[in-house]
Amino acid sequence: MFRFLEKMLPLFLMALIASCTIVRNDQNARGGSSQNRFSFTGANARFDTKEYAAEIWETVVIPRVEVMSEDYNTLITSLEADEEAASKTYGYRLMEEGNQYNFAVKGTVKVLSIDTSSRNGTAALDFAPFDGAEDCLMSIGPVLRGSTLRDIQNTLSLNDFGNQVEFARLAAELNNKVKETVLEHIDFSQVLGREADITGVFTYEGRGSVVTIMPVHLSFRE
């Protein structure tokens, strides 16, 4: 009996390992924490994307955005002058060449208008120095779309996750953190004409495209 178990044990261990995926998330980011996270996903275990997003929000995601953030006007002027050079200097793109660049910006804005005609609500912003013209949009929800906040992180990669579904869920959960920590307490019907300090991210889609910022910090002035 013991000899039988001794022969079967290696086969059992091999089957167990084959049924699991090792997920590695290296968080050694500029402005992030030095931490390696491993988890198993398999038939009897599931990677908790919501928990992971909450875990890295303050230690990795926000510091990365703050370190990358550039004055909005400086960045846009640079992109218009030389998109390729500005993208390499200020931006970050996920994985291979051909993907769009992601940027982080900061500055003082004035809210010009609010559009809640769809669930993908937006606010039109004028960056200081104010001239009354719309410079860009800001996502205000309640539905927040896109993966910019995930894709600007230089320590997150599809290869570090069990599958594409988990990676997509992470983008959604990071957007949910924006809604939870930045947007939910703001009554946007009461902010027209008000000034605010903002830090946020966007994916640049080329000259002439509308920039839509996902805020990670939004503080209205009295």
Q: Domain ranges for the chain, please list them.
A: 2-220
Q: Looking at residue 149, what is its pLDDT? A: 97
Selection from 35-39, 131-135, 151-155 with the highest mean pLDDT: 131-135
Confidence of residue 156 (pLDDT cuts 50, 70, 90): confident
Superfamily name and number for 2-220: Envelope glycoprotein gp160, DUF2291, alpha/beta domain (2.40.50.420)
Per the CB < 8 A criterion, the answer to whether 106 and 70 are in contact is: yes
> Measured in whole angstroms, how far is the alpha carbon of residue 166 from the centre of its chain?
14
Smallest CA-to-CA distance from 164 within 94, 82, 71 is with 94
pLDDT tens, position by position, 71-108: 999 999 999 999 999 999 999 997 666 689 999 999 99
Per-residue pLDDT tens over the stretch 20-76 = 333 333 333 333 333 334 343 443 356 789 999 999 999 999 999 999 999 999 999
pLDDT score, position 21: 37
pTM of the model: 0.78
pLDDT at 31: 34
Can the peptide bond before residue 63 be classed as cis, meaning omega within 30 degrees of 0? no
- For residue 113, list its beta bridge partners: 124
> Beta-carbon neighbour count of residue 222 at 10 Å?
4
Angle at which helix 72-81 crosses helix 83-90, to 10 degrees, equals 140
Cα 12 to chain centroid, rounded: 40
pLDDT (mean) for 199-208: 93
